[in-house]
Structure 1
Amino acid sequence: MGKEIPVDFFVTKLNEAKIHFERALDCKHTDFDDLYPYMIEHPQFFWYKRYVAWSELLTIVKLCKELEVSWEEQFTEQQIEYINKRVMSSKVLDYWFETNDSREHVG
């Protein structure tokens, strides 16, 4: 009936969703900025931007789980815990990059 999708497709999409979320956390440019340029003027813009990126990441992870595609390798243990809880809390926003007292940011 349908075409079989290779596993690396989902791994690539997962990596793209992770980068998108991390760029949103760091207030860097994402596709959301291009879709809603007028939103920059609104104080809630960055919250919406992060929420959209977080939702995308959770959706890709959900698909990976359903299709039994390994997804955890791209994340730290703490990030996996956040993803499994599914709630984008202030803790996620504040500590997503935290790994042994260092901060890693996407370029």
Structure 2
Amino acid sequence: MGDMMITAEYLLTKLEEAKNHFERALDCKHTEFDDLYPYMIEHPQFFWYKRYVAWSELLTIVKLCNENRIEWTAQFSEKQAEYIAKRVMSASVLDYWFESRETVG
């Protein structure tokens, strides 16, 4: 491979996309995942798995931001950043993610 540099702008764009993907999955809205696995809509575990995939994507981008010393928390409320830092997609994340979004300036 070449000397490709990943910029902060690029990672922050990917972070915003991952956040949007996760929030759409929480809202049970259409995501890219639905196009990849259309047959899964018929299975009850689909929505849980879809959320898990989106959460994993978000955590991966945050990890890359941390490794590159890129400030990522500004795109999230304080509570959302805490959820991400804990890395566990708990019931609190699923239940209160959007309630904490209102505090983002």
TM-score, L = length of structure 2: 0.92
- In structure 1, what is the Cα distance between the partners aligned to 2:29 and 2:97? 15
- In structure 2, what is the Cα distance between the partners aligned to 1:8 and 1:77? 22
- 1:82 partner letter: Y
- In structure 1, what is the Cα distance between the partners aligned to 2:25 and 2:5? 32
1:85-104 map, 5 Å: 85-99=86-100
SS of residue in 2 equivalent to 1:38: helix
After TM superposition, give the deviation of residue 2 of structure 1 in Å.
1.5
Per-residue CA deviations over 1:51-74 (Å, capped at 9, x if unaligned) read 000000000000000000110000
Count of aligned pairs: 101
After TM superposition, give the deviation of residue 7 of structure 1 in Å.
1.1
Q: Which has the higher helix share?
A: 2
Residue 50 of structure 2 aligns with which residue? 49
| Ranges in structure 1 where 5+ consecutive residues have no aligned partner | none
Question: What stretches of structure 1 move > 4 A for 4+ residues in a row?
Answer: none
SS of residue in 1 equivalent to 2:89: coil
What RMSD over aligned residues (CA atoms) do the two structures have, in Å? 1.2
TM-score, L = length of structure 1: 0.91
